[in-house]
Structure 1
Amino acid sequence: MTNVLRIALVDPNDDTRDSLKSMLLGMDTVWLEADCSRYEFFPDVIEQTAPDVGVISLDSDNEKSIRLVERLASDAPDTVILAASESTDGHLILQTIRAGAREFLTLPMSHEDLAAALTRVSQHKFGTTEGGARGCEVIAIAGATGGVGTTSAAVNLGCIFAADNRNSVALLDLDLALGDADVFLDAIPDYTLADVVQNVSRLDIQLLKQSLTKHSSGLYLLPRPVELHDTIGITDESLRKVIGLLKASFTHLVIDLSKTYSAVDMAAIEAASKVLLITQLDLPCLRNVVRLMMSFEEVDGLQSKIEIVVNRAGLESGQISLKKAKETLGRDIYALLPNDYRTMVEVRNNGVPLINQAPKAPITQALRDLAAKLQGKEASAEPSESGKSNESKWKMFWPGAKS
């Protein structure tokens, strides 16, 4: 699990409370455990949730809020109190700090000021910056078509990440109708994505982990719903809430997308740090890569997150050459995964990850290399050609597109 800060907020003013909530919900290394609109109810909130940080807005009633700071400093010493106010009056600031607040923040609060204050709290609670809060790397695995190996890549990358005891890793199966990540892991889950979506507003980090299925590799799985009708309640908005909670709970989140590129899939893609587009070296797959990349150009900032991964490289039967594929696509191939059909069938049918079933196989080593590259992506990724050059090559390859 990440060294995430669990936060409770009290502010009787709806506008400033909503602004602070929005800011907190946008931070990967914090989780908003609870928010409250009444000072008198906040001690009960603190007692029930035991957050790391309590944020108290003072402006609705300075005297009442300072008494609240003093009470919580005494009754809940493990909760760090941050006070916030539009006032910069020195007497108020001194009163608040003497009452027990760790820091005094000025409203309207900037993202940078809040982040800096929470970083100081995190360093005090968890240690130095190196041992402090970690953000979550979200890796979305997409396919150029069905059957290209997205689930096998997602499951085995997740297990490789989880093999490092410094990581905590979750796998989310977003193929809502036909997902089979649980089969790859020989798991029989008690709860699914539908259950988590239904209860996401009531979940905290501990309850979330109890809702996931833990594999012997250390990987946590959140599978697709069992019944098709259960997929109806899973929307892009509800998924964003689930991803937010998962990001606050784990250092790595791997998402196995469906092939429909629905609003739910696109919400996951938008949340991702990196999107691996899995393809094979055949004409239907490469045409779909072109089509998808043309569509991704319309989403601001998305193309820079996309990396093309060729699966089943070395398959003898009529594959397009790698050189020709790179020329056609106008960008580098991020990784090659070798063809090893027999090994992959064995691991899928046995429900055992590659690192356990075939640790020395070339496909296992290739996935290890891919995992290492993803974790050091800023240093290893090379810049692609300019957007205009890429755009012209996509459109030249796609018949009927306007130049």
Structure 2
Amino acid sequence: MSNVLRLAIVDPNDASREGLKSTLMGLDTVWLEAECSRYAFFADVLGQTNPDVGFVAMDSNPDEAMALIERVVQQYPKITILVSSSSTDGSLILRTMRAGAKEFLTQPVRPDDLATALQRISRLRFGAEGSSSTASKVITITGSTGGVGSTSLAVNLGCELAANPKNTVVVLDLDLALGDADVYLDTIPEYTLTDVAQNITRLDLTLLKRSLTKHESGLYLLPRPVQLEDSKLVSTDDLQRVISLLKATFTHLVIDTSKSFNKLDMLAMDVADHVLMVTQLDLPCLRNVVRLMMSFERNDKLKNKMRIVVNRVGQGGSAISVKKAEATLGKEVYWQLPNDFRTMIEVRNNGVPLLEHAPKAPLTQSISQLAADLLGEAPVGEVAGKSRGWLGMFGKKAGATEEPAATEG
């Protein structure tokens, strides 16, 4: 993602420094380049890392911090200085501004105050266009059971988003034991989620992209670990930092979860803007959706962004209609994907995205319109009814003679 502000911070107080780092982690357009616990060393840190912003917490020694600000402004005039202090004394604020600081924040730093200050700095540094850039969007895709097509949807939705030159898109394979997103793209990754998570404190934005696998479609992939035992090395804190860095780097992050709904999966759903629950029109799948939705009822935030996607609509042998499924679930079906088993087997075995292998197929067009709907863009065609997808787009019923279609994974 463009126009990310790179920060270096100095604060001798460990507690307040950790609090500031936690606050920065929640900001999409900020990357913590370096941290320092001594005023005496901070100028050297700035010289080595060359960040956009130097954040100076003054409370430990205001006089030494003031001297540091004056030195940094003279030595590194392109670095914007932001300061914080628990003191609201007018003379101190005036001195810091005269020394060259651009922003003054009161400790403890509130996230909204910090975000506003950084927005002003971004506007000065990148101009109005850069400061108004939209935040990264996270789409988390999960399944009601294995084999319902969540991975193929994640990969092909990512390719659809990446087809727009305005977007930069990455897929994160969070099925740490059995993930196979790399198979759908016919890639052999050099680095995995474990490598990135274990080295997150040493990564910058450039090194991050070098650690990802880039497909010719423009889609980036951060795959699951190679060794099964390495899946235990990724903690929720590690994943939170990886997600924050990916959000700061890409306009769209698509996360393919496992089906175990563990702590990592729940974190991926919690940080998402949209959560797509993929299911099929059979009793075991729908029963699992009911159970999961009952659990999610306790989390209003998650409940409100959860959307049901029915895959393989129109496949033979299903006695359950979409209408009956909605009655069972007590929730509208958000999207329907048509059944095209043969095409999906071909794209999976050949490692080629639908957009390349079968761009005119109803399934490809349905995923394309799904991408547009998630982004709030104008649909390609008229979509009939609230339960959208291929039936609305093409005006055909499930029993029509169109080639059957579906996603695997």
TM-score (norm 1): 0.90
Output the CA distance in 2 between the equivalents of 1:192 and 1:18: 27
The worse-fitting range, judged by mean Cα deviation, of 255-264 and 182-191 is 255-264
CA shift, 1:133, in A, is: 4.1
Q: Say if 2:110 is the partner of 1:145.
A: no
The answer to whether the Cα contact below 8 Å between 1:56 and 1:81 also exists between their aligned partners in 2 is: yes
CA shift, 1:79, in A, is: 1.6
**Hey, what does 1:288 align to over in structure 2?**
288
Q: Which runs of 5+ in 1 are unaligned?
A: 385-403
**Hey, what does 1:299 align to over in structure 2?**
299
Output the CA distance in 2 between the equivalents of 1:117 and 1:375: 28
CA shift, 1:19, in A, is: 2.5
Output the CA distance in 1 between the equivalents of 2:93 and 2:223: 49
CA shift, 1:246, in A, is: 1.3
Output the CA distance in 2 between the equivalents of 1:59 and 1:90: 15
Alpha-carbon spacing, 1:349–1:131, altered in 2? closer, same or farther (3 Å):
farther
Output the CA distance in 2 between the equivalents of 1:263 and 1:58: 37
1:47-86 correspondence to structure 2 within 5 Å: 47-86=47-86
Output the CA distance in 2 between the equivalents of 1:65 and 1:235: 36
SS at match of 2:264: helix
The answer to whether the Cα contact below 8 Å between 1:162 and 1:218 also exists between their aligned partners in 2 is: yes
The worse-fitting range, judged by mean Cα deviation, of 291-300 and 321-330 is 291-300
The answer to whether the Cα contact below 8 Å between 2:3 and 2:130 also exists between their aligned partners in 1 is: no
The worse-fitting range, judged by mean Cα deviation, of 124-133 and 135-144 is 124-133
SS at match of 1:146: coil
Output the CA distance in 2 between the equivalents of 1:30 and 1:329: 40
1:3-402 correspondence to structure 2 within 5 Å: 3-128=3-128, 132-376=132-376
Report the aligned-residue RMSD. 2.2
Name the aligned partner's letter for residue 325 of structure 2. Answer: A
CA shift, 1:383, in A, is: 11
Output the CA distance in 1 between the equivalents of 2:312 and 2:186: 24
Output the CA distance in 2 between the equivalents of 1:109 and 1:178: 42
Name the aligned partner's letter for residue 271 of structure 1. Answer: V
SS at match of 2:140: strand
Output the CA distance in 1 between the equivalents of 2:94 and 2:174: 51
The answer to whether the Cα contact below 8 Å between 1:2 and 1:134 also exists between their aligned partners in 2 is: no
Q: Residue by residue, what CA displacement relative to the aligned partner does 1:252-278 show, whole Å, maximum 9, x if unpaired?
A: 111111111122211212221211000
**Hey, what does 1:398 align to over in structure 2?**
none
CA shift, 1:300, in A, is: 4.7
Output the CA distance in 2 between the equivalents of 1:192 and 1:26: 23
Output the CA distance in 2 between the equivalents of 1:206 and 1:132: 23
The answer to whether the Cα contact below 8 Å between 1:2 and 1:135 also exists between their aligned partners in 2 is: no
SS at match of 2:128: coil
The answer to whether the Cα contact below 8 Å between 2:119 and 2:131 also exists between their aligned partners in 1 is: no
**Hey, what does 1:397 align to over in structure 2?**
none
Output the CA distance in 2 between the equivalents of 1:236 and 1:104: 33
Q: Residue by residue, what CA displacement relative to the aligned partner does 1:286-310 show, whole Å, maximum 9, x if unpaired?
A: 1110011111123352111210001
Q: Which runs of 5+ in 2 are unaligned?
A: 388-409
SS at match of 1:276: strand
Output the CA distance in 1 between the equivalents of 2:26 and 2:3: 16
